[in-house]
Amino acid sequence: MEKLIGVMGIALIIGAAVLWSNNRKQIPWKMVGSFLVMDFILALVILKLPGTSDFFAWVGAGVNKLLDFALDGAVFALGRTLVFGEFFKPGSPNGQEFIFAIRIGFSIIFISGLASLGYYFGFLPKLIKLMAKFLTKFGLSGPEALSCSAAAFVGQVECQLLIKPYIKTLTKSELFTSMTAAMATISGSALVAYTSIGMPATPLIAASLMSALGGIILAKIVCPETEHDKLQKEVDMQLPHDGVNAFDAAAHGVSAGVDIAIKVVSMVAFAIAFMAMVNWALGAGLSLFGLHAQIQDVFAYPFMPVAWFMGVPWHECFHVGRLMATELLFNEFVSYGELAPVIHGAGPYVLAAKTQLIATAALCGFAHLGSLGINIGGLGAMAPERRGEIAGIAFKSMMVANMATWLTATICGLIF
């Protein structure tokens, strides 16, 4: 019965995309079917298949090791007392307190510097080009294949920078697909940041790679290609040329990481503060009637059926629906901040292992309201003449990106 519900969930997500399509007759069903099969294969390879799943578990352990290296740098810069929090929490069992700005900030800075070195030495470009070449064989154009491949490794604006010269001439379908994949995935620095707050790395890796495919699947259903004569199969990757040598490249990466870290910490602080303000106002209003609820609780109810069709038992659907509502209204950091303690048995409620995997995948993307401004601002700056068009499709793209993460979560639930 659980498997049947998951199959129904996939059918409903794809069916909803078909109903939302702006040209149902042009939906490339062969491409959709091919990528859906690949999504299942990817889930099995990363999460289940002996040998390969062990390899990705090793990669996940490597991500955790990177956090240790980042903290070594933080200790040198700020001192062990400040980094590990003994000064703030001397009576705690392990003498440590998680300090978000330090743990998250230094992990992002370290990974940004490493990524810059990866570009300088050509490792990342070769991997992204290889993936893009593979995707073009299934019908994607060169620019959108390049952007979608990069989305699983770099940020939602950075992956568009790789095709900056082409953005002004992209078809509507190419633009929509690129935006959707960018919001349906997470960057490498975000992966490490989520891991630093206690999220398991391997399911995050699987979810981001799978949702890149899921974003393509649903984007091509909702906004299928109708301007085939304008498509370009081959593109030149626009690589960052910062850095005259490896040390200079690392310096540029670190500087960019500092900017990202400040923005992430500031956005999360604002989101939590704004959430507190909204919940205070809601609580004050409801208290007049003897009621109490938070905004996440209110919006959890519409997401409960979605969670159920993804494979979550009904008695756990409220908690998962609440996490999904929090991610959409605020951001995934806040949601993972609530989910991570639950996974480690220290949260206010308990979720089954399968539900933990489904929730991890469903939240793994930049598909929240804050991303609208990031995409409109970033892409609008690259192609000012298309800013109005970008703004017009941004919300739809964000919702389709959310559906892509739900598709990934449903597949993960099926193969659990």
Q: Say how many C-beta atoms besides its own lie within 10 A of residue 11's C-beta.
A: 12
Q: Which long-range contacts (CB under 8 A, 24 or more apart) does 67-71 make?
A: 67/103, 67/107, 67/192, 67/195, 67/196, 69/110, 70/106, 70/107, 70/109, 70/110, 70/111, 70/192, 70/196, 71/103, 71/106, 71/107
Spatial distance between the Cα atoms of 379 and 375, rounded to a whole number of angstroms: 6
Q: State the pLDDT at residue 75.
A: 80
Q: Higher model confidence: residue 75 or residue 183?
A: 183
pLDDT score at 91: 39
Tell me the mean pLDDT in the region 344-349: 90
How do residues 99-109 score in pLDDT, each as one tens digit?
A: 667 777 787 78
Quote the pLDDT of residue 84: 65
On average, the pLDDT of the chain sits at 84
Q: Which residue has the higher pLDDT, 28 or 127?
A: 28
Per-residue pLDDT tens for 215-258?
999 999 999 998 877 776 666 655 555 667 888 888 888 887 78
Q: Which two tokens stand for residue 406?
A: 């739900």
> 355 pLDDT exceeds 90?
yes
Confidence of residue 90 (pLDDT cuts 50, 70, 90): very low
> What's the pLDDT at 88?
40
Cβ atoms within 10 A of the Cβ of 15, count?
A: 12
| Domain coverage including residue 360 | 2-415
- Find, among 225, 226, 33, the residue nearest to 144 by Cα: 225
Cβ–Cβ < 8 Å for 56, 63 = no
SS3 sequence of 9-65: HHHHHHHHHHHHCCCHHHCCHHHHHHHHHHHHHHHHHHHCCCCHHHHHHHHHHHHHH
Q: What Å distances lie between residue 173 and 159, 233, 415, CA to CA? A: 17, 15, 31
Residues 211 and 400: beta-carbon distance below 8 Å: no
pLDDT of residue 97: 52
Task: Please tell me the predicted confidence (pLDDT) of residue 14.
Answer: 96
For the chain, percent of residues with pLDDT exceeding 90: 37
Residue 2 has pLDDT above 80, yes or no: no
Q: How far apart are CA 130 and CA 119, in angstroms?
A: 14
Q: Between these two residues, 208 and 271, which has the higher pLDDT value?
A: 208
Tell me the per-residue pLDDT of 135-154, one tens digit each, with 9 for 90 and over: 888 888 888 888 888 887 77
Instruction: Name the residue with higher pLDDT: 262 or 338.
Output: 338
Q: Using CA atoms, how far apart are residues 34 and 84, in angstroms rounded to an integer?
A: 48
Please state, in angstroms and rounded to a whole number, the distance separating the CA atoms of residues 257 and 270.
20
Mean pLDDT across the stretch 80-106?
58
- Give the tens place of pLDDT for each residue, 116-126: 787 778 777 77
Cα–Cα distance measured from residue 157 to residue 298, given in angstroms and rounded to the nearest whole number: 32
Q: Is the confidence at residue 373, as pLDDT, over 70?
A: yes
pLDDT in tens, 291-331: 788 888 889 999 999 999 999 999 999 999 999 999 998 88
What is the tally of structural domains in the chain?
A: 1
Query: In angstroms, rounded to a whole number, what is the distance separating the alpha carbons of residues 339 and 79?
Result: 29
- Average pLDDT, stretch 350-376? 90
Helix (H) or strand (E) holding 7, with range, is: helix 2-20
Token pair 């799978």 in the structure block, residue: 210
Please write the tens of the pLDDT for every residue from 186-205: 887 788 888 888 899 899 99
Cα–Cα distance for residue pair 397/367, rounded to 1 Å:
9
Does 94 have pLDDT greater than 50? no
Give the pLDDT score at 120.
Answer: 79
**pLDDT over 60 at 416, yes or no:** yes
Q: For residues 225 and 171, is the Cβ–Cβ distance under 8 A? A: yes
Do 197 and 162 meet the contact criterion of CB atoms below 8 Å apart? no
The pLDDT of residue 92: 39
Task: Note the pLDDT of residue 288.
Answer: 82
Looking at residue 94, its amino acid is: N
pLDDT at 232: 67
Q: Does the structure show a pLDDT above 50 at 50?
A: yes
- Does the pTM of the predicted model rise above 0.75? yes
